[in-house]
Amino acid sequence: MRSDEATRKLQTRLKRIEGQVGGLRRMLEEDADCVDLMLQLSAVQGALGKVGQLLLDGHMRTCVAEAVESGSPAQRRKKLDELMVVLSRYGGPR
Protein backbone atom coordinates (compact mmCIF):
# COMPACT_ATOMS: atom_id res chain seq x y z
CA MET A 1 0.00 0.00 0.00
CA ARG A 2 1.30 3.44 -0.92
CA SER A 3 1.84 6.08 1.72
CA ASP A 4 -0.16 9.29 1.57
CA GLU A 5 3.04 11.10 0.61
CA ALA A 6 3.77 8.72 -2.27
CA THR A 7 0.18 9.02 -3.52
CA ARG A 8 0.39 12.82 -3.35
CA LYS A 9 3.63 12.86 -5.33
CA LEU A 10 2.20 10.56 -8.00
CA GLN A 11 -0.95 12.66 -8.27
CA THR A 12 1.13 15.81 -8.67
CA ARG A 13 3.16 14.22 -11.45
CA LEU A 14 0.02 12.97 -13.22
CA LYS A 15 -1.61 16.41 -13.03
CA ARG A 16 1.52 17.90 -14.58
CA ILE A 17 1.36 15.28 -17.34
CA GLU A 18 -2.30 16.16 -17.95
CA GLY A 19 -1.21 19.75 -18.48
CA GLN A 20 1.51 18.67 -20.87
CA VAL A 21 -0.96 16.56 -22.88
CA GLY A 22 -3.35 19.52 -23.01
CA GLY A 23 -0.48 21.64 -24.27
CA LEU A 24 0.21 19.07 -26.97
CA ARG A 25 -3.42 19.16 -28.07
CA ARG A 26 -3.35 22.97 -28.24
CA MET A 27 -0.08 22.90 -30.17
CA LEU A 28 -1.64 20.54 -32.69
CA GLU A 29 -4.76 22.71 -33.00
CA GLU A 30 -2.52 25.73 -33.60
CA ASP A 31 -0.54 23.84 -36.27
CA ALA A 32 2.71 23.96 -34.29
CA ASP A 33 5.94 22.83 -35.85
CA CYS A 34 6.37 19.04 -35.99
CA VAL A 35 9.70 19.18 -34.17
CA ASP A 36 8.17 21.16 -31.31
CA LEU A 37 5.34 18.62 -31.07
CA MET A 38 7.78 15.70 -31.04
CA LEU A 39 9.89 17.33 -28.32
CA GLN A 40 6.82 17.91 -26.17
CA LEU A 41 5.64 14.34 -26.80
CA SER A 42 9.05 13.07 -25.72
CA ALA A 43 8.74 15.07 -22.49
CA VAL A 44 5.32 13.51 -21.80
CA GLN A 45 6.64 10.02 -22.47
CA GLY A 46 9.56 10.66 -20.12
CA ALA A 47 7.24 11.92 -17.41
CA LEU A 48 4.99 8.85 -17.77
CA GLY A 49 8.06 6.64 -17.62
CA LYS A 50 9.06 8.28 -14.34
CA VAL A 51 5.60 7.63 -12.89
CA GLY A 52 5.98 3.98 -13.90
CA GLN A 53 9.39 3.79 -12.26
CA LEU A 54 8.06 5.26 -9.04
CA LEU A 55 5.13 2.84 -8.97
CA LEU A 56 7.39 -0.12 -9.66
CA ASP A 57 9.87 0.97 -7.00
CA GLY A 58 7.10 1.34 -4.44
CA HIS A 59 5.62 -2.02 -5.34
CA MET A 60 8.96 -3.76 -4.99
CA ARG A 61 9.76 -2.06 -1.67
CA THR A 62 6.38 -2.90 -0.14
CA CYS A 63 4.33 -5.71 -1.67
CA VAL A 64 7.17 -7.77 -3.09
CA ALA A 65 9.49 -7.21 -0.12
CA GLU A 66 6.77 -8.18 2.35
CA ALA A 67 6.00 -11.38 0.46
CA VAL A 68 9.68 -12.31 0.26
CA GLU A 69 10.35 -11.53 3.93
CA SER A 70 7.28 -12.99 5.59
CA GLY A 71 5.05 -14.65 3.03
CA SER A 72 4.49 -18.30 2.43
CA PRO A 73 6.31 -19.95 -0.46
CA ALA A 74 3.10 -19.66 -2.50
CA GLN A 75 2.78 -15.93 -1.70
CA ARG A 76 6.42 -15.32 -2.63
CA ARG A 77 6.01 -17.18 -5.89
CA LYS A 78 2.79 -15.28 -6.69
CA LYS A 79 4.37 -11.86 -6.08
CA LEU A 80 7.47 -12.72 -8.07
CA ASP A 81 5.32 -14.04 -10.93
CA GLU A 82 3.31 -10.79 -10.90
CA LEU A 83 6.53 -8.80 -10.93
CA MET A 84 7.85 -10.73 -13.92
CA VAL A 85 4.63 -10.07 -15.85
CA VAL A 86 4.84 -6.35 -15.11
CA LEU A 87 8.52 -6.19 -16.05
CA SER A 88 7.94 -8.04 -19.31
CA ARG A 89 5.13 -5.68 -20.28
CA TYR A 90 6.80 -2.53 -18.99
CA GLY A 91 10.19 -3.20 -20.50
CA GLY A 92 9.11 -5.07 -23.61
CA PRO A 93 8.67 -3.79 -27.14
CA ARG A 94 6.05 -1.16 -27.73
Domain segments of the chain as ranges: 4-91
Give the fold, CATH level 3, of 4-91: Methane Monooxygenase Hydroxylase; Chain G, domain 1 (1.20.58)
13 touches 50 (CB < 8 A): yes
- The CA-based diameter of the chain, rounded to the nearest angstrom, is 57
- Record the pTM: 0.82
Average pLDDT over residues 62-80: 90
> Whose CA is closest to 68, among 56, 59, 57, 76?
76
The predicted-structure confidence for 14-56, as pLDDT tens digits, reads as follows 999 999 999 999 999 999 999 999 999 999 999 999 999 999 9
d(CA 44, CA 20) in angstroms, rounded, equals 6
| pLDDT at residue 1, rounded to an integer | 75
6 touches 67 (CB < 8 A): no
- 50 Ramachandran zone, left/alpha/beta (phi>0; psi -120 to 50): alpha
67: pLDDT strictly greater than 60: yes
Helix (H, G, I), strand (E, B) or coil at 31: coil
94: pLDDT strictly greater than 80: no
